[in-house]
Structure 1
């Protein structure tokens, strides 16, 4: 029997009282099961952190000695138990080390997706679809009108200009994917990477993921070359150089509002869109879908006569 309170959303985060742990807590807790290393899912200071090795490396870089009291490193497809709840990590395809969390308790399985994507991405492990009784899915883009374009076609837009580009992207996950995509599909471009992004790039390479050619940003190089340079910067730097001259401003994101006032639109997302969520539900075949991290009301309407959809947020 599915337990309606198997996980509940609290101010601290998504809590499983049966296992006495939190999934991606927003505040420090005793036992935290972390799906991936983005800051809105992985805070510092938890006593026990259960995560993949890459997630721990990213957290250690960002938070240093405050990253966790103790890391418990879990491989994909490896199971462990917290207070009678069996937990297995499965690749989520969102970024390097990102995991979906399969929880089994009294014969019922609950799958928490964290953030996930279906698009091919050579800079992280591909998503794996298990079957589960309950799918607890992110709904960042759960809107029938949101359909992500083909990422290869999007990245090739950068080759439509020879002018230098200031490319804004999140420092972890998106930046590494972009470096590899530019090398694969825009090989004429020379990539200069902001120093705040470089440590994350090094961890990717340390973990065996080749990103291709890039250089650490050098102001002289940017000043003396007026063609085919891409300066990859994190969001804060991108916003601070709002009046940057002699560059085309581009920000890579699935959010259309972040494309305004830029010189080029680059809709590349690391989240599932509407069709991807529907496909995921078809693959996992849950009896119920619980939604989090976004608005699941349109999914609820879509499945009104066919599937129980419960909004946790």
Structure 2
């Protein structure tokens, strides 16, 4: 059976547990990327099975339901945060007072173009502006310094694909991970420019990433404490929670993870200040003036 780049497949040796997209084919093997989770894997072509179109549709519907549920939880959380900001900005009196917000600047580096598009779509649904760039994981440490100085972000997302391989070492050995070392190096480069964890908030990691090394390198939030797979959209939910929390308040790790699709086994971090700042009065720009 022949396979083509972009086809959706599962692995027979893993009981067809994960839906993958074929990234590349070489000789009798293929590099696979999870369709909804940030996992990269190698597989023999003989172990792959194409997924029928009818099954793909069922899987996508089920995945969409899960994503919509998390988005509804976020909307509820966002509404509560908005009401609190309005009350505090107006001292609880004038609910219609004209105040403005300074949005957080978000830089999102992703090692997968399709994941990046999905994430940007979700950022837009959440009303967040983001500078999203596709960068191969191996190139991220070389690119991050220039990008931080150019964009001057308030928050950085460093993600893509990763995987732990038992054939390469133990779980505490970062050399046994596909891309964790590149993520760690990228975090360190960013922290060399902005050392304060509240002035520059960083999320780093993907599926099964070496969580401890990422936190030690300076990430506020990272994956994956239990070395499990994380959903492609999880970094966006953490970003939104921090971006919509006032800089006067801290974001607990529990609050940051509450609306993610993976939860605390796949994600963790440290207490972090929010990024949102409000001011008043809001002055509408007069487009008719000289």
Q: TM-score, normalised by structure 1?
A: 0.32
TM-score after normalising by structure 2? 0.34
